[in-house]
């Protein structure tokens, strides 16, 4: 069977599963299905890196490369994202034209990172932190912000900073939520682009291997530390900016920030991090 035929067969099976999920009238414990995936996903990573504690995977490649970790720790003494966090705090509390502010949209003083992403049953879609920030802006007559960098990334960085240590526990409790989760899972494992690579191909199959001068990070912990200040960018950026960059690296067309595909991918990837803690923002090369 040709590669194209296999791909079409897998796509057909995936669509059948989605249809079954959508039409099922049975009482299904969707969270149990997700929890089983989490156990398998994390077990695979632990098998590849048996000496790394689960919590440490939130540090990305620095969990598996001691030399890089040492250099990173030195950078973290005076982190390059500090200014972005301060600016994000000011933006978070800045009054809108109507006298309100972002602070009025988020409880607990804004320390709500562990509430996102989640599946909004009324809207029928995954809501990310950056999406919620823009929702608040537009609801108050303000313009939405760029979904990859700038002020949106700074506000997100501030919320992440004051939420550090919050446990990750993505809930998938309905057929609609599970469908979005499956779409994110399919995106993660599907090959694309000129290099015919998948997220899993790089960060599971080849995790820990050398790619030019860099070591490929393991998939576990990818969503815990965003937004990040990348030295390559010279500024802070969102998770969806990183997704777009990954797509470009393999010769695939990047999608728009906060597209349904990227939000579903974030939903799946964050679910795979259940049991870890949020520790953003962070610095990366």
158 phi, psi to nearest 5 deg: -65, -45
- Per-residue tokens: 15: 């669509």
pLDDT per residue as tens digits for the range 204-254: 999 999 887 789 999 999 999 999 999 999 999 999 999 999 999 999 999
Residue 193 CA to residue 206 CA, distance in Å, equals 17
Question: Is residue 214 within a helix (H) or strand (E), and if so which, with residue range?
Answer: strand 214-215
Q: Which residues contact 167 (CB under 8 A, 6 or more apart)?
A: 114, 275, 276, 277
- How do strand 282-284 and strand 228-230 relate by DSSP bridges? parallel
What does the pLDDT read at residue 18? 59
The confidence score (pLDDT) of residue 27 equals 81
**Any idea which architecture 8-17+27-285 has in CATH?**
Orthogonal Bundle (1.10)
Res 23: pLDDT: 52
Which of 199, 202, 246, 273 is catalytic? The answer is 246
282, with CB counted inside 10 A (0-12, 13-18, 19+), is buried
Domain extents in the chain: 8-17+27-285
Residue 242 makes CB contacts below 8 A (sequence gap 6+) with 226, 228
- Written as tens digits, the pLDDT of the chain (285 aa) is 554 454 455 565 555 555 555 555 468 999 999 999 999 999 999 999 999 999 999 999 999 999 889 999 998 999 999 999 999 999 999 999 999 999 999 999 999 999 999 999 999 999 999 999 999 999 999 999 998 999 999 999 999 999 999 999 999 999 999 999 999 999 999 999 999 999 999 999 999 998 877 899 999 999 999 999 999 999 999 999 999 999 999 999 999 999 999 999 999 999 999 999 999 999 998
Looking at residue 212, its pLDDT comes to 78
- Residue pair 227/79 in contact by the 8 Å Cβ criterion: no
Give pLDDT, residue 3: 47
Q: Is 246 marked active-site? A: yes
Backbone angles phi, psi at 16, to 5 degrees: -65, -45
Structure tokens at 269: 């990837």
Contacts of 108 (CB under 8 A, 6+ apart): none
pLDDT of residue 4: 46
Could you give the CA distance from residue 143 to residue 16 in angstroms, rounded to a whole number?
40
């Amino acid at each position: 069977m040709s590669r194209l035929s296999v791909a079409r067969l897998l796509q057909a099976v995936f669509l059948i599963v989605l249809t079954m999920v959508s039409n099922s009238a049975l009482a299904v414990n969707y969270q149990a299905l997700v929890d089983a995936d989490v156990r398998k996903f994390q077990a695979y990573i632990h098998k590849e890196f048996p000496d790394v504690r689960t919590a440490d995977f939130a540090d990305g490649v620095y969990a598996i490369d001691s030399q890089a970790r040492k250099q990173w720790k030195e950078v973290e003494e005076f982190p390059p994202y500090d200014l972005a966090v301060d600016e994000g705090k000011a933006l978070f509390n800045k009054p809108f034209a109507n006298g309100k502010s972002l602070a009025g949209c988020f409880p607990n003083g804004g320390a709500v990172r562990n509430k996102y992403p989640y599946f909004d049953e009324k809207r029928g879609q995954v809501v990310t932190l950056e999406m919620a920030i823009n929702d608040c802006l537009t609801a108050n007559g303000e313009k939405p912000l760029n979904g990859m960098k700038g002020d949106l990334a700074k506000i997100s960085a501030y919320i992440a900073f004051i939420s550090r240590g919050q446990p990750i526990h993505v809930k998938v409790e309905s057929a609609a939520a599970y469908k979005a989760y499956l779409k994110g899972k399919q995106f993660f494992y599907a090959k694309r682009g000129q290099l015919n690579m998948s997220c899993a191909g790089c960060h599971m199959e080849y995790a820990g291997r050398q790619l030019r001068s860099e070591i490929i990070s393991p998939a576990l912990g990818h969503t815990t530390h965003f937004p990040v200040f990348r030295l390559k960018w010279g500024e802070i950026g969102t998770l969806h900016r990183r997704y777009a960059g990954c797509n470009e690296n393999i010769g695939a067309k990047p999608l728009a920030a906060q597209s349904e595909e990227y939000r579903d991918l974030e939903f799946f990837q964050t679910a795979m991090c259940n049991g870890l803690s949020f520790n953003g923002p962070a610095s990366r090369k």
